[in-house]
Amino acid sequence: MTRVGMIPESSKIATPYQTTQQTKMMEQDEQTANVTPSQLAEKLCKSFLDVRSRTLPPDIVDVADEREVAAMRALAIPSTQGRPMRETIEDMLRIMSHRVAMEHPRFFGFIPSPVHESSLLGHVITTMFNVHAGSWFESSGPSAVEDVMIKWLAQQAGLPDTAGGVFVSGGSMANLTAIVAARDAKLSFEQRAKAVFYVSEQTHCSVQKGLGIAGFHASQTRHVECDHSFRMKVSSLRKAIAADRDAGLVPFLIVATCGLTNTGSIDPLDELAGVAEAEDLWLHVDGAYGGSVILSNQHKHLAQGVARAHSLSWDAHKWLFQTYGCGVLIVRDSRHLIQSFTTNASYIQDAEEASSAHVNFWNRGIELTRPARAMKLWFTLQTLGLDKLGEFIDHGIQLAEAAEQAFRKLENWKIVTPAQLGIFNFSYVAWSINLDGEREVSESLSERVNVEASKRAISRNIAAPLTTRLHGKLNLRMCTISPNLGTDQLLEVVHALDSLATEIMAEMG
């Protein structure tokens, strides 16, 4: 009997491709007659991990040269006829090898992405189903899990039962979504032109980008000065708000950071929450990187105050060891997202929310078509366990502290910012002799040595510490969050950098 909505087998037309595939499938069915789908998926996952381990190139950084770029550009144009799969795979492997291995244990630049194998497997299984996770009707299984996971993450952050949110592509989209929700909750349309918002001098650039997309001009941004630890100064914030109110402007948003990309610093969240409450402003916490400390076994207290925020952005693909495209926005009251993003097009009427338990996530964010991003994180949490995940986060913090202490013991090195949330800044200090024959620090020579040390470490595949600038001065920076990096291995990198600096100084005379 044919079920409603299904095409009868007799009316289907088999293409040559389908016929070939059906023959192969029949042969495979005979071999796997007594194997369950879960066993088949497990076998696929094991094969995937084996293939991945054999195909990943060893280089930490592989930037294509001009000849390779030209060849890849030529390959980008499709041919009129199809090519053999093996040949295409070989080309794709070459193309994909030209990259920075963000998951490599000795990549220390930006915020690395040390992906746990469980996330890769969760990603593979999620891709097998290709779920449209926009509505409950299309994805009741993944939507149920995503809804509960968001509420659980909100509880871990100390947010109330009214909290809700949505999984998004990453911190940029999470920040933008929060800005729109804050705008709609705190401002009338007529007030938008007079609105002002407050960020620190170190706030991530994605926030300013999001403000622009949300319809605000750069002149409406107030960059609040930071203290010596690069944390937003609360006294300066209060003065800025008072001055703007006196000028007839409308303050509405404070953006704090839990884990600055440059230094790992955390803004004084409790004090900023106090200002937001007193002034009736929305407090958004950008925890894209540092929010994961909430799940730490030993350092959760560092995020104290996040429970008082109106919204929190949090990237699982940074410090929760997920593949890219796994961020989340949590808001204190989920109704603010629904008020800003509810969709009522006629062609999606069958997916209307029947009750509060049936969540349509396209009503909580910008995307209509969206993948089931939460499932790979769920897979990791299920297979790894919360205790082990917390140990991984603590390990990254301890690594940075060990490296900081190692550099303090070496001659000619200084710590620019101490280890915080797995990040620290340091610099080789080069000395020169002035015209009076006195020994003095040479800023220009120091900068040259630090830049060259980074380049040589990368070119020799020792490690990838990159440079940044703090207070206008260039220094080296390391983010040491890989669970696969041991303390002894990291200390070897420290001494290798010291040797490189000595080598460079000798060459420079």
Residues 216-239, mean pLDDT to the nearest whole number? 98
Q: What is the pLDDT of residue 6?
A: 44
Angle at 476 between CA 473 and CA 479, to 5 degrees: 130
Q: What is the pLDDT of residue 2?
A: 41
Mean pLDDT, the chain, rounded, equals: 93
Q: Does the structure show a pLDDT above 90 at 225?
A: yes
Reported as type and span, the H/E element at residue 285 is: strand 282-286
Q: What is the pLDDT of residue 10?
A: 44
Which tokens in the block code for residue 219? 């002149």
What is the Cα Rg of the chain in Å?
26
The secondary structure of 374-401 as a DSSP string is: HHHHHHHHHHH-HHHHHHHHHHHHHHHH
Which distant-in-sequence residues (6+ apart) come within 8 Å of 125 by Cβ?
41, 45, 375, 379
Query: How many C-beta atoms surround the C-beta of residue 339 within 10 A?
Result: 13
Q: Does the structure show a pLDDT above 50 at 404?
A: yes
**Share above pLDDT 70 across residues of the chain, in percent, rounded to a whole number:** 91
Q: Does the structure show a pLDDT above 70 at 350?
A: no
- Do 97 and 57 touch, CB atoms closer than 8 A? yes
Reported as type and span, the H/E element at residue 270 is: helix 269-279
Q: How far apart are CA 350 and CA 272, in angstroms?
A: 43
Q: What is the pLDDT of residues 352-396, one digit of tens each?
A: 554 457 899 999 999 999 999 999 999 999 999 999 999 999 999
DSSP alpha helices (H): ranges in 10-133?
A: 16-31, 37-55, 66-75, 85-97, 117-129
Q: Does the structure show a pLDDT above 50 at 77?
A: yes
Residues 89-95, mean pLDDT to the nearest whole number? 97
Residues 436-456, mean pLDDT to the nearest whole number? 93
Q: What is the pLDDT of residue 79?
A: 93
Question: What are the structural domains, with CATH classification, of the chain?
Answer: 64-99 (no CATH), 131-384 (3.40.640.10), 389-508 (3.90.1150.170)
Angle at 278 between CA 184 and CA 175, to 5 degrees: 40
Q: How far apart are CA 254 and CA 146, in angstroms?
A: 28
Q: What is the pLDDT of residue 343?
A: 80
Q: How far apart are CA 10 and CA 263, in angstroms?
A: 65
Out of 22-36, 40-54, 237-251, 360-374, pick the least confident: 22-36
Residues 308-336, mean pLDDT to the nearest whole number? 98
The secondary structure of 419-454 as a DSSP string is: EETTEEEEEE--EEE-TTS-EEE-HHHHHHHHHHHH
Out of 137-151, 282-296, 428-442, pick the least confident: 428-442
pTM score: 0.92
* Residue 344: band (very low, low, confident or very high) from pLDDT cuts 50, 70, 90: confident
Q: What is the DSSP letter of 265?
A: -
Q: How far apart are CA 371 and CA 140, in angstroms?
A: 13
Q: Does the structure show a pLDDT above 50 at 462?
A: yes
Which distant-in-sequence residues (6+ apart) come within 8 Å of 332 by Cβ?
159, 160, 162, 163, 309, 310, 311
Q: What is the pLDDT of residue 291?
A: 98
Q: Is 410 helix (H, G, I), strand (E, B) or coil?
A: coil
- Do 214 and 176 touch, CB atoms closer than 8 A? yes
* Residue 384 main-chain phi, psi, to 5 deg: -90, -40
Q: What is the pLDDT of residue 34?
A: 83
Q: Is 140 helix (H, G, I), strand (E, B) or coil?
A: helix
Q: What is the pLDDT of residue 437?
A: 76
Q: What is the pLDDT of residues 415-426, one digit of tens each?
A: 999 999 999 999
